[in-house]
Structure 1
């Protein structure tokens, strides 16, 4: 429904956050930017009712149609925050019932699954084995959160202990292969639908900058990772304390020795079933901020990769897979990196709230380079309404993200000045009424100003425009607060309205029509 409605209202692509594999055994670890594997998929996105085995499984059909089950579904759908534990439990139970149905039926689809397993080879076996073992060890010990907390003989995929266990538990591993198979099939169907509707890009996927320390990718490829290091970011305006993300980096030396095959495999996996790929923190092609384990982020240093090799491979795979590339080039961008990316055909990432001139004024979207995707906000910053009312700054203060009151006061003062500059720019381009919105201190973010700000950006020169559903709905709560884990319920906030209500809203439909007109000009 969403894809069809997006195409119907002028959309040419749907941007996704990373859909990388997480940890089904620990569903509260919901950040798509700290995955278990960047090559495999998050199986919890599977639409259970669209899997062929769903209709063939009598016990599952009976359960699904029961009043108790429907009541449970309604309760989960009615919450303001995603209950990942309950959702994952329901979906895994259904997937196991459907897998048993498939195995017992011994139909052609079982042969198709076997062919898929053969085609995907050792990489799929590694992911399936890891998911299976996580459940095994967590059932035995609730502190066995990942391979670093397992018995020594299981801390690597290639260890004798792991291989013996895999040999004895082939059916369990096949179940986890089945989960990847049905999820990938649905992703392929979504991409095919987008193409059939005439969307120029269809889906655009997002590649996270790394994996968590307890990830299956690390477990299966220890030699490739520097496991006593965490990548992050040095202190800056967005994060005055710096950031350490808990993601071990690839070793530049080992990557070179492997002929960059891990990078090639990663790109090929993520350029499948989409028309574009956004690369999070694209500066990683050149350098990463390495923080030694146990140290604070400001104790880190930049470690460099061979950017020319990385960009050449990226360009080659982009061409092979017919997949446009967008690089998230925000934050501290080293001198000359923008030129390298542009020459390699990588699209820049223009976030309106960050596009300020040296005098503090906001750069006109008319002056953005064409080879770019423009957006107002992202998953890492406030919504339009939250930004305008400084909700993100007050939340950051509440969560202890600023070293002292002086930093908070400076950020607040900077924000008020930025808001005034935005109003000045909007008036200068006749994007808002002459008789309204002159004083940032007395101007609140209402629907009219919100929508006109989106239209203002849409009239710019960037080839691609990305707008967020929460801004259509005038939401103020962020989906994610960088630099936090347990302090805020990251990645759990739902949209305030379902998609049916969103596309039935006449004001939103009018906005989409005006945005489409602006883009066509």
Structure 2
């Protein structure tokens, strides 16, 4: 069925019909794909009568609501609100009452007809009119509560009024033109003499201090979102259970008060425990199952100590813990319950990978059966709340190390684009998500077949109805204990590539989001937390989002290997936007050594990522040509010694070439330069291969050197000095 109603819905719901692909070519979204996307939003596209009734109901609901749910304004704009009322009321007196976040209150009397009439309709023979009313007060930045009152004071409707700044936060040193560098690292990759088989928050603190003493101004992390204690092999940091909370696996158990208690020491000194600890430390890939089992056993023992000594009594520690839980609200409680419930089901041998397979009575956080479970398992829920508390404390301790070492940015965190299908976040707010779809990407350079990330998208309409609270919470929580936030796939603020369940990624379509509202909220939270914002704008990027991001103070993400002119030459880093973070590679790309020796192409062939040998052959030819152009650029800028061969045919990746490429980037114009620790250590294996699941050990590979020995290497120390000098010279 094709109908004007379908076409109208496609436009109203922000489903894009045409787009420009990653190679600059126009593409058209099929009619079938658009219909499927409307279907996953909940529309009865195969029943015209039912669809007509749905659309009419929505239309009437909007007109029956005197105010919109939420409105985002910028501090430099005139302030108006829309008011919808039956025609018989538009000559009456009304009051706008605004309760500001800072505790102040404002009032304004008005008559609707004195405003500008902007719309009208008839519902059940009653005319409704919509007026634009000017708010003649200046509101402070923040989240405010606006009420529409009758002349006698009766409340008619409410809305959230958000006042946002014009731009995200910039550190003063960056505003002054200082150019800085830092290291990016997947936290779990860190090896150390003391960690338990996975990098932890104490390792992070040590890396922060060592890096700062060698000139770094920030440490960039992978997403450290909460994953699944009862399903540890679901280890992708980009497929979390909750983006608001932390992954307890990064806890340094030995640093928690109570670890030295004899009951804990008896456990960790058992021969079997020590044997597993030795194994997880020495294995080259993180064994998430073994690490999780080990840490949970020790953390349970430490919790028993704290619970007995502090958390069951009227102590200072318990007051702090209770305050943390109270401030975490329903979101924190929901995650703790989810973790305890998933663990409970797994222990009984019941399906438990995520809420879609939970027993029916547990399918919703709000169900009576879940309430009963909470009551019967209160201590276990408290244990998972305790883990989040301790994680927050340890992350903040690492953040304080950055502050003490006067890093201009410090820790920068990474916000994943979504949560996985079976996540706690969806379990607690199913109305918000379209669970019959996933986000991903159309075919591009990184994924020639397109990508399906298995992350159900938020429904833009539901997000609006929920007054943007889920987005506010995300930005707020991920800017804590950090000086910057990197937003993965920042184009999601404008549009996301939706793929209906069961479809190939290339058959998806773009759905648009309220980008100006979301950027306003981002700017507000950025200024509140004094957190610089970096937007990962790689792949299929419309120019409109790049310009919007720049205007809103978001730093672009510039990867050297993608910065090519039409003739194949590589742009000089001196020509990158100042308001950007530049880098050589990313976690989704090969390391410098891997790129130079084509390890990624070899792996891709083994894993069947390329549909034909012809495609692979083109990629090899392109790689050879690109390497030659890189050499040309390096020699042309005198960034490498003359004795290094200027012909790529016989030139392998050496430490000299590796380090010269890094200092070449340091001389560039980007305010921020991020370098991967793997490239400092000349590693060749990649962290993640996009488009793979079980074919490659994604998110598990460790560094090849212990943290304690990295900054004792004179050549690495010298590299850091050269980077610092190059950045100073470029400032």
Q: Give distance in 2, aligned partners of 1:285 and 1:221.
A: 20
Shift, 1:66, TM fit:
4.8
- State the partner residue of 1:144: 352
- State the partner residue of 1:291: 499
User: Mapping of 1:384-463 within 5 angstroms?
Assistant: 384-463=592-671
User: Is the partner of 1:54 in helix, strand or coil?
Assistant: coil
- State the partner residue of 1:85: 289
The structure with the largest alpha-carbon Rg is: 2
Larger proportion of helix: 1
Q: Give distance in 1, aligned partners of 2:309 and 2:275.
A: 31
C-alpha contact (below 8 Å) 2:452/2:505 kept by paired residues: yes
- State the partner residue of 1:17: 222
2:255 counterpart of 1:50: yes
User: Mapping of 1:112-151 within 5 angstroms?
Assistant: 112-141=320-349, 143-151=351-359
User: Mapping of 1:462-473 within 5 angstroms?
Assistant: 462-473=670-681
Shift, 1:220, TM fit:
0.1
Shift, 1:264, TM fit:
0.4
Give CA deviations for 1:198-236 in whole Å, capped at 9, x if unaligned.
Answer: 011110000000000000000000000000001000011
- State the partner residue of 2:49: none
Q: Give distance in 1, aligned partners of 2:457 and 2:680.
A: 37
- State the partner residue of 2:233: 28
- State the partner residue of 1:72: 276
Shift, 1:142, TM fit:
5.0
TM-score, normalised by the number of residues in structure 1 = 0.98
- State the partner residue of 1:315: 523
Query: Which is further off, 497-506 or 207-216?
Result: 497-506
Give CA deviations for 1:96-120 in whole Å, capped at 9, x if unaligned.
Answer: 1111111211353233222221222
User: Is the partner of 1:230 in helix, strand or coil?
Assistant: strand
Query: Which is further off, 60-69 or 213-222?
Result: 60-69
User: Is the partner of 1:303 in helix, strand or coil?
Assistant: strand
Shift, 1:63, TM fit:
3.0
Shift, 1:237, TM fit:
2.2
C-alpha contact (below 8 Å) 2:277/2:294 kept by paired residues: no
- State the partner residue of 2:726: 518
User: Mapping of 1:73-472 within 5 angstroms?
Assistant: 73-106=277-310, 107-141=315-349, 143-472=351-680
C-alpha contact (below 8 Å) 1:369/1:462 kept by paired residues: yes
Give CA deviations for 1:73-112 in whole Å, capped at 9, x if unaligned.
Answer: 2222111111111111111111111111112113532332
C-alpha contact (below 8 Å) 1:271/1:323 kept by paired residues: yes
Q: Which structure 1 segments of 5+ residues have no match? A: none
Shift, 1:312, TM fit:
1.1
Shift, 1:444, TM fit:
0.5
Shift, 1:67, TM fit:
5.2
Q: Give distance in 2, aligned partners of 1:13 and 1:443.
A: 33
Q: 1:4 aligns with which of 190, 209, 213?
A: 209
User: Is the partner of 2:726 in helix, strand or coil?
Assistant: helix
Q: Report the number of matched residues.
A: 520
- State the partner residue of 2:71: none
Q: Give distance in 2, aligned partners of 1:53 and 1:114.
A: 19
Q: Give distance in 1, aligned partners of 2:434 and 2:672.
A: 36
Give CA deviations for 1:294-321 in whole Å, capped at 9, x if unaligned.
Answer: 0100110000001111111111111111
C-alpha contact (below 8 Å) 2:225/2:244 kept by paired residues: yes
Shift, 1:179, TM fit:
0.5
Q: Give distance in 1, aligned partners of 2:339 and 2:264.
A: 23
User: Is the partner of 1:402 in helix, strand or coil?
Assistant: coil
Q: Give distance in 2, aligned partners of 1:389 and 1:247.
A: 33
User: Is the partner of 1:467 in helix, strand or coil?
Assistant: strand
Q: Give distance in 2, aligned partners of 1:260 and 1:121.
A: 17
User: Is the partner of 2:497 in helix, strand or coil?
Assistant: strand
Q: 2:266 aligns with which of 40, 59, 62?
A: 62
- State the partner residue of 2:246: 41
Q: Give distance in 1, aligned partners of 2:326 and 2:439.
A: 35
Query: Which is further off, 118-127 or 450-459?
Result: 118-127
User: Is the partner of 2:650 in helix, strand or coil?
Assistant: coil
Q: 1:474 aligns with which of 662, 665, 682?
A: 682
C-alpha contact (below 8 Å) 1:102/1:110 kept by paired residues: no
RMSD of aligned C-alpha atoms?
A: 1.1
C-alpha contact (below 8 Å) 1:102/1:109 kept by paired residues: no
Shift, 1:72, TM fit:
3.0
Shift, 1:153, TM fit:
1.2
Query: Which is further off, 66-75 or 322-331?
Result: 66-75
Shift, 1:133, TM fit:
0.5
Shift, 1:62, TM fit:
2.6
Query: Which is further off, 431-440 or 300-309?
Result: 431-440
Q: Give distance in 2, aligned partners of 1:381 and 1:97.
A: 40
Query: Which is further off, 142-151 or 37-46?
Result: 142-151
Q: Give distance in 1, aligned partners of 2:356 and 2:367.
A: 14
Larger proportion of strand: 2
Q: Give distance in 2, aligned partners of 1:335 and 1:110.
A: 51
